[in-house]
Chains A and B, each alone.
Chain A
Amino acid sequence: MTALAQLGRFGVFAAQVLWRMATPPWEISEAARHTWTVTVRCFLPVIAVVFPFGMVMALQGLQIFNLFGAQRLLSSLVSVAVFRELSPVLASVLVAAQGGSAFAAELGAMRIREEIDATVVMGIDAIRVHVVPRVIATLIAAPILNLVGSLSGICGGFVVAVYVKGEPAGIYWANLWELTAPSDIIGGAFKATIFGLLIGLIACYQGYYTTGGAAGVGRAVNATVVVGITTFIVVNYFLTSALFGAIG
């Protein structure tokens, strides 16, 4: 299948999913169950990944601020970077790697075992029953995990600044909000939500159209992670430009 045909089919699929998300009946309990699973499964990985990123951020940031003697601004740099960029992107990468790929694998396996065909033959809307709750799950889980990631990133920065480099703890906390406005937090959360939606759509698309047995399921998972990460790094640039208006 050519890239263009893939893109067209993805467009149709996304439209079908979004239409069903906007119209009842909703599979609320299914959506809640999937949301819970994704959030729980990604919780520790998000902390484990964003925390060291906050540490690195503090480590490199100190080198720059030492030049100005402006070490006191370290925590504000960390918090801007974490809220705007690091946490939304990294939390989404992990939602893609952990939640999205699991959804692709589940739907792929359902396709291979003819469970999706079985649903359709029972006269039940397979997209509404199997796909929509999963897309809702990543949509809700991504911003929640973004918040978790933000907090752990800031703590990571704190650990390096205070315990490794011996900066005063009080100054770290006092300057945390120097450069960070509520709009940064909302903007980051908005980005994470968009990424969550994209992951859900990409993962379910890959799983829903799986072909070729167990190897096909592996390919679907692989494609989910690769396409997912690429898509939101690209989308991220445009969102950052638009939200945090960095023109001239």
Chain B
Amino acid sequence: MADPIIRLVNLHKSFGSLVVLDGVSFDIPTGETTAIIGPSGTGKSVLIKHIVGLLEPDEGQVWVGDVDMATANEKRKYEVRRRFGMLFQDGALFDSMTAGENVAFPLRYHTKLNEKQRREKAEEMMELVELPGVYDRPTSALSGGQRKRVGLARAIVLEPEIILFDEPNSGLDPLTSDTIDELIGKMKRQLGITFIVITHDIVSCVNIADHIVMLNGGKLIEHSPTQSFIRSENPFVRSFLRRNVDLDALKPL
């Protein structure tokens, strides 16, 4: 396992009386893809919002490099966030802009490029996500798969070290879903980006992840490399796998 780029230590988080994270600790290795899976409502999205400092834990630490996001001030958090790219479930594209303007948006604030250079850079990124020629299209005219790709292009435009991906496959048909998975693999190989992917689609998990972390009821159930994960003896993991997919279909991988 490579050195960890992110270390979560004993995270606790409750909203009122609802306990969402109940003592979660694990490491995320550099340059590899870690998938976080689990049933709906087990705190997966809450967990990654802690990693980027959108939420603060009640207890525990979130180390990104040598900064603890749990206690860092806003200024430090903004510095750390420069190392991240994040994709939200529905893309979180700005409706008031075109697809390409969305991709170019971070460049306006974090680089000294002029408008023409920003456009070139954005178009380059959109080609990388295999979506050329839609720069001037309004976001409302994009399909679900295209929205995710524009979101991905926006996430990689600042050349981040880490990309957080919330439900890459939600709302997509299996074919489109596969092409997004391929894209994640390509980004990882070409750009050496660390991916953290939240999903409940076990098939896509096995396709893209080097490590799988399973959460249930705010607790860590299992954390292991993909191949040992699918052979896990943990009863909860077994039942989750059985419900989601025919196990034999996973074996040839």
Instruction: List residues of chain A with CB under 8 Å of any chain B CB.
Output: 106, 109-110, 113-115, 117-118, 120-125, 129
Contacts and interface: CB of A to CB of B under 8 A. Distances in A.
Interface string B81-106: 11011101110111110000000011
A113 B109 contact: no
Nearest to B89: A114
B92 A123 contact: no
B198 to A, nearest CB: 13
Interface of B: 49, 52, 54, 78-79, 81-82, 84-86, 88-90, 92-96, 105-106, 109-110, 154, 158, 164
A115 B105 CA distance: 12
Contacts of A121: 52, 54, 81, 84-86, 164
B81 A123 contact: yes
Contact of B86 (A109, A118, A125): A118
Contacts of B109: 122-124, 129
A120 B49 CA distance: 11
A114 B105 CA distance: 16
A117 B105 contact: no
8 contacts: A114-B89, A117-B86, A117-B92, A121-B84, A121-B86, A121-B164, A122-B105, A122-B110
A144 B86 CA distance: 41
Contacts, number: 55
A115 B139 CA distance: 13
B105 A113 contact: no
A72 B127 CA distance: 74
Max chain A Cβ within 10 angstroms of own Cβ: one of B90, B109, B110: B109
Contact of B88 (A106, A117, A124): A117
Contacts of B82: 123
Given A122-B105, A122-B106, A123-B110, A114 B90 contact: yes
A146 B37 CA distance: 56
A146 to B, nearest CB: 27
Nearest to B80: A123
Nearest to B88: A114
Contact of A120 (B54, B93, B154, B164): B54
Contacts of A122: 81, 85-86, 105-106, 109-110, 154, 158
A123 B54 contact: no
Given A117-B49, A117-B54, A124 B90 contact: no
A98 B54 CA distance: 31
A124 B95 CA distance: 17
Given A113-B88, A121-B164, A123-B78, 15 more contacts: A106-B96, A114-B92, A115-B93, A115-B94, A117-B49, A117-B54, A117-B92, A118-B88, A120-B52, A120-B81, A121-B85, A122-B109, A123-B110, A124-B105, A124-B106
Contacts of B88: 113-114, 117-118
A122 B85 CA distance: 7
Contacts of A109: 95
Given A124-B106, A124-B109, A115 B92 contact: yes
The 4 closest A-B pairs by CB, nearest first: A118-B92, A114-B92, A123-B81, A114-B88
Contacts of A106: 96
Nearest to B83: A123
A24 to B, nearest CB: 13
Nearest to A128: B109
A227 to B, nearest CB: 25
Contacts of A129: 109
Nearest to A109: B95
Nearest to B79: A123
A218 to B, nearest CB: 18
A223 to B, nearest CB: 22
A182 B213 CA distance: 71
Contacts of A110: 94
